[in-house]
Structure 1
Amino acid sequence: MSRVIWFEIPADDPERAAKFYEDVFGWEIEKWEGPFDYWLIRTGSDEEPGIHGAIMTKDMGEVVRDTIAVDSYDEFSKKIEMQGGEMLTEKIEVPNMGYMGSFKDTEGNIFAIIESNMTETSTK
């Protein structure tokens, strides 16, 4: 079974949004050291049920987006389209993470899928 493993919250001002979620929910939020404006969110300890996520700038998307872990990106992208979903982005490799892309479901909701390559010793 595939599970939601990540969420992203779009923001005009990620720093302001980070302060809001820290103050309201007590989440731990820190700016990612990567090549774009992305803030990592820890929503609680790893022993508790729940998922972690991120805050991103609205130029990366304007809706809350969930990421779902799948065994095979190619298999699930075909299933999504066969069931009436729409591919929004091509499959991309995220270094040290896996292969992912964004889709729209039959109701217009946007989500991403990711196939992990964390166990691979070399990149494809």
Structure 2
Amino acid sequence: MGRVVLFEMSSQDPDKSAKFYSSVFGWKVGESNWGYCPVETGTNDKPGIDGGIAQGPNDFPHGTRVQIKVENIEDSINQAKRMGGEVVRDKMEFDNYYLAYLVDPVGIGFGLIQYK
């Protein structure tokens, strides 16, 4: 079962967005890395779903996407395509994980993440 493990908020002013969510909800916002500010929304006593705030790309300038953890990103991409989904950004490799962005048949954006 694919589990939602992260969220990603796209903003055209990430610093302003980070300040807003930190002030309103008490989220802990980390230092920007590659234009991505990591966000913690919980603690060990009160867990939350962590994520980040980043400069929104042209294909997703504003909004929030969830990241769904999968065991095999290629298989999940292919299954999504068979079911009418579309790939927005194909598999990308990072230090500890692979990531891809897709939309479902009605246009809802989401990410797939496979940890190495």
TM over 0.5: yes
Give the equivalent residue in structure 1 for 2:5. Answer: 5
CA distance in structure 2 between the aligned counterparts of 1:102 and 1:59, rounded to whole angstroms: 12
Deviation of 1:86 after TM superposition, in Å, equals 0.6
Matches of residues 1-124 of structure 1 in structure 2 within 5 Å? 1-32=1-32, 34=33, 36-59=34-57, 61-62=60-61, 63-95=63-95, 97-117=96-116
CA distance in structure 2 between the aligned counterparts of 1:86 and 1:16, rounded to whole angstroms: 31
1:40 maps to a residue whose letter is: P
Q: Which structure's CA Rg is the greater one?
A: 1
Q: 1:114 to 1:45 in 2, by over 3 A?
A: same
CA distance in structure 1 between the aligned counterparts of 2:42 and 2:101, rounded to whole angstroms: 26
More strand by share: 2
Question: Between the two proteins, what is the percent identity of the paired residues?
Answer: 32
TM-score using structure 1 length? 0.84
Q: 1:99 to 1:21 in 2, by over 3 A?
A: same
CA distance in structure 1 between the aligned counterparts of 2:44 and 2:108, rounded to whole angstroms: 28
Q: What per-residue deviation string (whole Å, max 9, x for no partner) do you get for residues 51-86 of structure 1?
A: 101011123632311110001111111110111101
Partner of 2:114, secondary structure, is strand
Q: Could you tell me whether the CA contact under 8 Å between 2:5 and 2:68 is conserved in 1?
A: yes
Partner of 2:90, secondary structure, is coil
Structure 1 residues not aligned, in runs of 5+: 118-124
Cα RMSD of the aligned pairs, angstroms, is: 1.5
Partner of 2:10, secondary structure, is strand
TM-score using structure 2 length? 0.89
Extract structure 1 runs of 4+ deviating beyond 6 A. Answer: none
Number of aligned positions between the proteins: 114
Q: Could you tell me whether the CA contact under 8 Å between 1:11 and 1:58 is conserved in 2?
A: yes
Structure 2 residues not aligned, in runs of 5+: none
